[in-house]
Amino acid sequence: MIEKMEFKSDFDSAKWYNKRFSEFGAFETSEKYNLLMLEWLGIKEKTDKKLLDVGCGGGFFLKQAEKFLNCTGIDFSKEALLQAKKNCNSKLVLGSASNLPFKNNSFDFVVCLGSLEHFIEIEKSLKEMNRVLKKNGKINLFVPNSEFILFKLNPVTAHQPNERFASLKEWEKLIGKYLEIESVHKFTHNPIGKLIPKNFTYSFSFICRGCVRSELLL
């Protein structure tokens, strides 16, 4: 795993993100991407089930997801949530992924799309997402691949202070400690990417079930 960890506390990290969101706005994900993330969770029609978006940013995924589900977004950046409020009608909460302010078994679905690799306490955050997920619920974790073929030619990062890039096997080992991995989808930004083997794709979407191992409940 490739790691670059500049900040050691959520307070310092949130200050950086507040400044970034204030100056540059939120990164907007496409409708096609948002629908794909929902599809991989098996969501294709409107229900009364609940979804939590951890690290919701500017709320663009929530804008799409709330057409199908009862949605909540959480982010530790106040500035991100101010922008999300303009983009979606979901419930928005200021808080940390490593200490989610929700009761056990609160959500049918949890997503963390392009944020997990930036969390300071990544393992504690995985444990927390498992805790708030209902029995038989599903989680979608979207993470970058350190073995992406173009990264090998020209290493590029998201230019954020805390970043992690890992291979398929490394992500499987880490995520599998806290969640039951059901399937792994490869993701690329263009049709040509479909020809690239999964191990060398741009990113992975891990679809997981909650884990009920007793040690995770402590």
**Residue type for position 13:** S
The pLDDT tens digits of the residues spanning 119-144 come to: 999 999 999 999 999 999 999 999 99
Q: Beta strand 50-54 with 70-75: parallel, antiparallel or unpaired?
A: parallel
Half-sphere exposure of 80 (CA within 13 A, CB side): 29
Query: pTM for this structure?
Result: 0.93
The pLDDT tens digits of the residues spanning 148-175 come to: 877 766 655 557 899 999 999 999 999 9
What pLDDT score was predicted for residue 218? 54
The pLDDT tens digits of the residues spanning 97-121 come to: 999 999 999 999 999 999 999 999 9
DSSP state at residue 26: P
**Helix ranges restricted to H, 4-91:** 10-24, 31-39, 60-65, 78-87
Q: At the fourth CATH level, which superfamily is domain 30-217? A: Vaccinia Virus protein VP39 (3.40.50.150)
Model confidence at 39: pLDDT above 50: yes
What pLDDT score was predicted for residue 217? 54
Long-range contacts of 190-196 (CB under 8 A, 24+ apart): 196/149
Distance of alpha carbon 42 from its chain centroid, rounded?
Answer: 17
Model confidence at 193: pLDDT above 90: no
The pLDDT tens digits of the residues spanning 52-98 come to: 999 999 999 999 999 999 999 999 999 999 999 999 999 999 999 99
Residue boundaries of the structural domains of the chain: 30-217
Percent pLDDT > 70 in the chain is 92
What pLDDT score was predicted for residue 90? 98
Model confidence at 5: pLDDT above 50: yes
Of 198 and 91, which is predicted with more confidence? 91
Q: Which of 19-23, 28-32, 137-141, 199-203 has the highest mean pLDDT?
A: 137-141
Cβ atoms within 10 Å, residue 47: 13
